[in-house]
């Protein structure tokens, strides 16, 4: 919420300054800050909703809301980056006069605002895709402010107006890389992809040797509600005399210790697996 307020207030200042100074870099950054304001609001709302407890209709709860918000934010970042690149190309061939003094002043203030927002968000973005999406938006603003400062300095020193378009395009391409990674990772979670680094065939080979009484494991399915909450189900064929409760507990402990998967469902089979036979 603090990052949202800081970004939203400065966005209004930057729009006015960009229009008055005719700076594409400032206007592009203001446009990006508009998407940031919306995206930070979306991220904040997603965090609030995800805290709701599970109910009859959402038995796993609302954790996926944050992943969905990250996916939407990734798409907005991609769209904004492409728009800035197109505008930069047009400005390159049709340069306009930029008032570098006001542009420099606003860009410096913007850099300070973005540094504050970045510091606020940085701690929570290591594994949380929703927070990472918000952070990439703010990081894009931070780079945009640096580019605006550099462009204003070059224009004041040399009068070369096209540097405004050039630096805008470079920042947009940097943002595009992070946006694509965010969209790809959140899409992977929404498609119930396996956790990063998880290898079902390796688990199938190693688990019988780790838990006494297990003959074979199969039908292994691993997915994520969110990157922090990993899930797994499997079938375990065991000896006829084996203690099913002990085996279930040991498999659960092993998967939590070795693979970081806390929510495990184990189906114990002392006969041939009905699904495999079918």
As a CATH number, domain 200-277 is 3.30.70.1350
Which range, of 92-106, 149-163, 212-226, averages the lowest pLDDT? Answer: 92-106
CB 104 within 8 A of CB 23: no
Residue, of 167 and 234, whose pLDDT is higher: 234
Q: How confident is the model at residue 201 (pLDDT cuts 50, 70, 90)?
A: very high
**Rounded CA separation 188/224 (Å):** 9
User: Three-state DSSP class for 161?
Assistant: coil
pLDDT at 263 over 90: yes
Q: How confident is the model at residue 218 (pLDDT cuts 50, 70, 90)?
A: very high
> Span 123-144, mean pLDDT?
77
Q: What is the pLDDT of residue 32?
A: 66
Q: Per 3-state DSSP, what percentage of the chain is helix, strand, and coil (rounded to 5)?
A: 70, 10, 20
**Domain extent listing, the chain:** 2-190, 200-277
- For 134-154, letters b (16+ CB in 10 Å) and e give bbbbbbbbbbbbbbbbbbbeb
pLDDT at 33 over 80: no
> Span 48-55, mean pLDDT?
90
Q: How confident is the model at residue 145 (pLDDT cuts 50, 70, 90)?
A: confident
pLDDT at 278 over 60: no
> In 3D, which of 192, 133, 186, 144 has the Cα closest to residue 168?
144
> Span 256-261, mean pLDDT?
92
pLDDT digits (tens, 9 = 90+) for 61-102: 998 999 999 999 888 889 888 988 898 898 888 887 777 787
pLDDT digits (tens, 9 = 90+) for 98-109: 777 877 888 888
Q: How confident is the model at residue 257 (pLDDT cuts 50, 70, 90)?
A: very high
pLDDT, the chain, mean: 86
CB 31 within 8 A of CB 146: no
pTM above the 0.85 mark?
no
Q: What is the pLDDT of residue 117?
A: 85
> In 3D, which of 219, 222, 215 has the Cα closest to residue 255?
222
Architecture, CATH, for domain 2-190: Up-down Bundle (1.20)
| Token pair 């199938």 in the structure block, residue | 204
**Rounded CA separation 168/188 (Å):** 30
**Rounded CA separation 31/8 (Å):** 11
**Rounded CA separation 210/203 (Å):** 10
pLDDT digits (tens, 9 = 90+) for 107-130: 888 888 888 888 888 766 566 788
Which range, of 52-61, 141-150, 246-255, averages the lowest pLDDT? Answer: 141-150
Could you give the residue ranges of the DSSP H alpha helices within 191-273? 200-210, 244-259
Which range, of 34-48, 94-108, 155-169, 196-210, averages the lowest pLDDT? Answer: 94-108
pLDDT digits (tens, 9 = 90+) for 221-235: 999 998 889 999 999
> In 3D, which of 247, 239, 248 has the Cα closest to residue 270?
239
Q: How confident is the model at residue 276 (pLDDT cuts 50, 70, 90)?
A: low
């Amino acid at each position: 919420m603090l990052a949202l307020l800081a970004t939203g207030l400065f966005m209004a200042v930057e729009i006015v300054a960009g229009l008055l100074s005719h700076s594409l870099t400032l206007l592009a950054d203001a446009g990006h800050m508009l998407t940031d304001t919306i995206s930070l609001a979306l991220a904040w709302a997603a965090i609030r909703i995800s805290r709701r407890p599970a109910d009859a209709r959402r038995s796993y709860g609302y954790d996926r809301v944050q992943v969905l918000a990250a996916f939407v934010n990734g798409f907005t970042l991609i769209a904004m980056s492409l728009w800035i690149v197109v505008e930069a190309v047009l400005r390159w061939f049709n340069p306009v006069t930029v008032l570098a003094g006001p542009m420099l002043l606003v860009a410096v203030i913007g850099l300070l605002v973005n540094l504050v927002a970045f510091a606020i968000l940085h701690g929570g973005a290591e594994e949380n895709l929703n927070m990472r999406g918000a952070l990439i938006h703010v990081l894009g603003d931070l780079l945009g402010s640096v580019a605006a400062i550099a462009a204003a300095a070059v224009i004041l020193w040399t009068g070369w107006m096209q540097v405004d378009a050039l630096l805008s395009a470079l920042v947009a391409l940097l943002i595009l890389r992070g946006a694509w990674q965010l969209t790809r990772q959140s899409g992977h979670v929404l498609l119930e992809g396996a956790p990063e680094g998880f290898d079902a065939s390796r688990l199938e080979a190693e688990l019988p040797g780790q838990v006494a009484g297990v003959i074979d494991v199969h039908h292994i399915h691993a997915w994520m509600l969110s990157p922090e909450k990993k899930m797994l189900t499997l079938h375990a064929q065991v000896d006829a005399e084996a203690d099913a409760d002990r085996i279930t507990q040991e498999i659960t402990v092993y998967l939590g210790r070795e693979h970081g998967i806390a929510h495990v469902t184990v189906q114990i089979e002392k006969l041939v697996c009905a699904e495999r036979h079918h």
